[in-house]
Structure 1
Amino acid sequence: MRSRDPGRDASLEALVPALIGRLPHLLDEVRRLLTADWPDYAQFLAEEQAEVEVAAEGFIRWLVEFAEEYLSEPHSDLIPAPTTPVTLFEEIGRAQWREGRDLSALLSAYQLGARVAWHEVSGTALETGVAPDALAALAEAVFAYVDQLSSASARGYVAEQSEAVAARERLRDDLVELLLSDRSDSAAVRAAATRAGWPLPREVAVVLVDPDNPVGQATLARLDASCLLIRRRQLTGAVLPDPARPGRRQRLVAEMRGTGAVIGHPVPPEQLPASVEIAEIALRLSRGGC
């Protein structure tokens, strides 16, 4: 371990109050630059200024801690944990997905904030006499911090996306079970379709494939998102909306050629259970070589 230079430590410590004194200017500059492309983020900075300033002070103190660690152990991979809880930035990533925003926009805003922060940190460091190697450590700290927060937001974004997809698939599976049940009523089906985000069509058709036919399974997986997959143990297929739409049945027949699939006739949703029974019989006969 390298011995610390007391003068260097003193200059880094002096950097903390100097940077805290510049926080209002730094945050104003970030807000100004965000306004054009990310007005919502700029508005957040304005509305939550007190909370943001507290987090920014924690960031400044973390910078100095990181720089001191870096100078004492320049080859260490250990990075001090950010003072701002990582879970907060994971939640920001989750919110980004829930609001239908692109992750890259959030990460770009982080990078912009990092550039402004580094401009202020480097200028203040030079004014307070921070040594060149300490300045390099501060640069490493700024971008390590942003990397950690970006990674946290990306994890939150992907986690929320995965959970949303899983929840959507569960709702679609519930809808399929309801459609295949002869005990359901139209009101229940409409409610389940709304929850699943599936526009209820006037007519549907069932497509059944041999569960042991890998080509049929692969073809089902390529159907568009408007189709509801049937994933029962002894029943594999899909519910196709609006099968009488011009050209749709012909395309489906072409896609299913060679898979041994059975395509039912178009029926109103409430008649689907009966249509499935007929399609199952046809599939069994087909598998038996009849």
Structure 2
Amino acid sequence: MEKVNAVILDKMQSDVALIPQLASHIIAAGGKRLRPMLTLAAAQLCGYREERHVALAACVEFIHTATLLHDDVVDESDLRRGNATANAVFGNQASVLVGDFLFSRAFELMVADGSLEVLGILSRASAVIAEGEVMQLITTNDTETTEDAYLDVISSKTAALFAAAARVGGVVADAGRPEVEALDSYGRNLGVAFQLVDDALDYSAHKATLGKSIGDDFKEGKITLPVLLAFRRGAEEDRVFWRRCLEKLEQDDGDLEHALDLMARHNALTDTIERARHYGARARDALGIFSDGALKSAMIDAIDFTIERAY
């Protein structure tokens, strides 16, 4: 990861001073670097001992960071990880353009790697992420959204990059098709679990200890699984409440607290975490074809970390 961070610092430089200034604002803000770690771990799990995976892990982080910059503009977010977002500090225009710059840097790293297969995996993932964000835009404020439609959104906007990050690790290691597909499945299921937990945390008091504000999804009218479960399980008067708050965005003092009460009454948060556990188990099963060892244990630990941060 030290080598990956060195590549990130080098490639975010530009003669245009605002670019590294804004990029470093979001990159230095922290984050788990979970996606690039998947690339490193997957490659080494398959016996890779060279250096190609380092630049590709940095590429994965650039794709992720670019999407965060764009997402914060779309969501009009002011905070990320307890700090002011780049758009709050530098403005929407600069955030969008620096996001474009980081996407371009990611593609430079892909091209420099020289593998058309790697280029295909990561470029396709970038397109799928964008599709997922547009799908989320369509489902926002729509309480008729189905659970399947919600899963399609998170599979695209979150799980696709997890899957690609793990898959390219196997590809650079020249692993066999069963191993590469297993890594893809591991990453995809881990990504779904990760987003499910994130969506539960948005309505959890525990989120405050993670440096995040509570109820951002509620204020924006996002339709996530905790909302879907509470909406479907509630009485008609409850559905009237959800429609007012999320479809019309007519929110009064105390509405968030009432939403939390409804979720508690209908076990919406605990059941969302249980769904995450299910996908975590699928991710664990995908690693079954690999021999036991420190790297496999670390990748299993990543599943546990993803789900246990809800507590």
- TM-score w.r.t. the length of structure 1 is 0.28
Higher relative contact order (CA 8 A, sep 6+): 2
Q: Give the structure with the higher percent strand.
A: 1
Q: Which structure's CA Rg is the greater one?
A: 1
Normalising by the residue count of structure 2, what TM-score does the alignment of the two structures yield?
0.27
